Amino acid sequence: MTHLGYLLAGWGIALVVLGVYGCGVVRRGRRLAGTVPEGEDRWMTSRGENQGG
Amino acid sequence: MADSTTSTGSPGSRILGLTTLLGLAGLLLFAFALTEPDVRLHPTTGEEFGQFDAVRLLYLHVPMAVLTYVAFLTCAVASAGYLLKRGAWWDVTAHASAEVGTVFCGLVLVTGSIWGKPVWNTWWEWGDVRLMTTLVLFLLFTGYLALRRTPAEPQRQARRAAVVALVAVLDIPLINRSVEWWENRTLHQQSTLAELKIEDLTLFTLMLGFVVFGLVFAWLMLHRFRVGWLEQAQADRDMALAIAERHAEMETLDVDAAIGRTGGGK
C-alpha cells in the first residue's frame, strides 16, 4: 500500500481526536448530572423551552 | 453502563453509539480493504498516475468537510432562532453545534493537509483560497467558543454569540464557491466526484462515509446538547440558591433591626 504513513496519520488523528472529544463530552455530562437534582435533566422534559438562556 | 440519571446517555443514544461503532468498522473495511487505489493510465505514454492509496483519505476528509458545513449552518439557524424566540433550547443547540463543528473543521484542516502532501506535494498553500477561507471559518468559530467562555450576563452573552455565529457562517458560501470564483487560486479541483471519476464501490464507500460520519456527528451533538442542558440547569440552580441566600440574609437583618440588635444595641 502506498502513502501508508499519510493514511495512518490522517485516519488515526481523526479517530483519536473524535474519540477523545466524545469521551470528554460524556465525562462532562456525568460530572454535571451528579450535581443537578433528579428531574432537572431537562432534555427528558418539556419545561426547558423559554427558560434561562 | 451508566444510569441515564447520572449521565447524558439514554437507551436511544446507546443504540446510536453502537450503530456508529459498527458503521466505523464497516467503513474502515471498505476504505482500506475493499476499494481500489486511484490508479489511472496516461492515454499516450501509458504511465500510471493518480492519487494511488492516498485517495482513501477521501472517505474521511470529504464527509467531515460537509458535516462541518452542516454543524455551522445548524449553529446559524439556532442562533437566529434564539434571537427571534429567546428560548434556551435554541441557545444550547447553537453552542453544541458550534463546538462539534469546530472539532470537525479542525480535523478537516489537518486531514486536508495530510492528504495534500502526497497529492500536491505540499502540506499547506497560503495562496489557496479554499484553504484560507476554511482556516478563517475555524478561527471565527474558535473565537465564538472563546466568547462563550467569557464571564458575562448569560442572556447578553447568548445574544452576542448568536450575532457572531450569523456573521461567521457567511464564510461558508465563500468556501463552497471558492473553487469556481477563484479557480486559478486554488489547488482544489472543482468537482471531486467528477475529477476522480468516482463510481461503483468507491462511490458506495464515499456515501457510507457520509452516513457513518453523520452518525458520529449525531451522537456527539446529542451528548453535547444534553451537557448544555445540564449546564443551564446547574446555572439556574446556582442562581436560585444565591437568591435564596440573599433573601435569608435580608430577613435576618430585618429581624435584627426589628428587635433592636443592630448598631451595637443590647
ipTM: 0.86
On chain A, the residues whose CB falls within 8 A of the CB of B37 are 1-2
- Extract the C-alpha cell encoding A35: 450535581
Determine the Cα–Cα distance for residues B149 and B157; give it in Å rounded to an integer. 9
The nearest CA of chain A is from the CA of B115 a distance in Å of 7
Residues of chain B with pLDDT under 70: 1-5, 185-187, 189-198, 261-266
Q: Is there a contact between B24 and A29 if contact means CB atoms under 8 Å apart?
A: no
CB-based contact B225:B78 (threshold 8 Å)? no
pLDDT for position A43: 62
Question: Mean pLDDT in chain A?
Answer: 80
What would you measure as the largest C-alpha separation in chain A, in angstroms?
A: 56
Q: Is there a contact between B28 and A35 if contact means CB atoms under 8 Å apart?
A: no
Determine the Cα–Cα distance for residues B166 and B76; give it in Å rounded to an integer. 5
Conformation bin of residue B260: beta by default, left when phi > 0, alpha when psi is -120 to 50: left
On chain B, the residues whose CB falls within 8 A of the CB of A2 are 37, 52-54, 118
Which residue type, as a one-letter code, is found at position B94? A
pLDDT for position B228: 93
In sequence order, what are the residues at sequence separation of 6 or more whose Cβ sits closer than 8 angstroms to the Cβ of residue B248? none
Residue A50 — pLDDT band, cuts 50, 70, 90?
A: very low
Distance of CA A21 to the CA centre of its chain: 6
The DSSP letter of residue B37 is: P
For residue A20, pLDDT over 50 is answered with yes
Residue B57 has its nearest CB partner, among A1, A7, A18, at A7
Determine the Cα–Cα distance for residues A26 and A24; give it in Å rounded to an integer. 5
Residue B233 has its nearest CB partner, among A3, A42, A50, at A42
Residue A46 — pLDDT band, cuts 50, 70, 90?
A: very low
- Extract the C-alpha cell encoding B115: 492528504
Determine the Cα–Cα distance for residues B35 and B39; give it in Å rounded to an integer. 12
On chain B, the residues whose CB falls within 8 A of the CB of A15 are 24
Q: Quickly count: other Cβ atoms within 10 Å of residue B207's Cβ.
A: 13
Exposed/middle/buried for residue B212 (C-beta within 10 Å: 0-12, 13-18, 19+): buried
User: Which of B103, B95, B102, B101 has its CA nearest to residue B235?
Assistant: B95
pLDDT for position B1: 47
Q: What residue segments make up the domains of chain B, in order of their start? A: 11-225
User: Which of A43, A32, A25 has its CA nearest to residue B219?
Assistant: A25
Q: Is there a contact between A11 and B60 if contact means CB atoms under 8 Å apart?
A: yes
Run of H or E residues at B15: helix B11-29
Run of H or E residues at B49: strand B48-52
Angle at B100 between CA B104 and CA B53, to 5 degrees: 20
Run of H or E residues at A26: helix A4-35
Residue B216 has its nearest CB partner, among A18, A32, A42, at A18
CB-based contact B213:B63 (threshold 8 Å)? yes
Determine the Cα–Cα distance for residues B106 and B84; give it in Å rounded to an integer. 30
Exposed/middle/buried for residue B160 (C-beta within 10 Å: 0-12, 13-18, 19+): middle
